[in-house]
Amino acid sequence: MRALVQRVSEASVTVDGAVIGQIGAGLLVLVCAMGGDDEIAADKLAARVAKLRIFRDAADKMNRSVADITGAVLVVSQFTLAADTRTGNRPGFSSAAPPESGEKLYLRFADALRGLGLPVQTGRFGADMKVALVNDGPVTIWMDTADRS
């Protein structure tokens, strides 16, 4: 699974003019299930995100996790993280998981974060979403379960 993690002061997601998810300080996580991913990958990614120390401590060092700051997580499905831009001008997305398994793994990822004690809001899988955020730092981290064994 792939995730683009952004440290935010606030973030929200709107569908059809209605805010369906909103957080204050915490993480906005854009997440994409890739072909071949499974529930283990979703759980592994959730554990890594939950432990990611990208919030400032008293010495102004990035040394605290979202749980340490009592923050929240906004999880938004984003199949375009699977984009293959190696050739041509139009990205290919064939490496993304099919929608049925992609949605299942997206929801599993959000539930795994909840299971780790984090407050989690979500977007709506497959919807045309408007995502608003105030990136704090800015801090933006790319994560991919395929990068680790």
Instruction: Clarify whether 80 is annotated catalytic.
Output: yes
- Is the Cβ–Cβ distance between 34 and 79 less than 8 Å? no
Which residues, other chains included, contact 116 with Cβ-Cβ below 8 Å and sequence gap of 6+? 46, 47, 50, 67
> What percentage of the chain has pLDDT greater than the value 90?
97
Active site residue 78: yes
Instruction: Find the catalytic residue in 6, 55, 79, 121.
Output: 79
| Full DSSP string of 39-86 | HHHHHHHHHHHHH---EE-TTS-EEE-TTTTT-EEEEEE-GGGG-B-S
What is the model's pLDDT at position 149? 45
How many domains in the chain? 1
Q: Which of 6, 78, 122, 145 is catalytic?
A: 78
pTM over 0.85: yes
- The CA angle 47-148-77, to the nearest 5 degrees, is 55
Residue 133 belongs to a domain with what CATH number? 3.50.80.10
Q: Of 64, 71, 76, which Cα lies nearest the Cα of 29?
A: 76
List Cβ neighbours of 128 (8 Å cut-off, separation of 6 or more).
15
Q: Is 125 a catalytic residue?
A: no
Per-residue pLDDT reduced to its tens digit, 19-48:
999 999 999 999 999 999 999 999 999 999
Please give the Cα distance from 148 to 139 (Å, whole number): 21
In whole numbers, what is the pLDDT of the chain averaged over residues?
Answer: 96
Q: How confident is residue 116, by pLDDT bands cut at 50, 70 and 90? A: very high
136 close to 25: Cβ distance less than 8 angstroms: yes
Identify the DSSP state of 96.
B
Domain with 110 in it: 2-147
Which pLDDT value is given to residue 62? 97
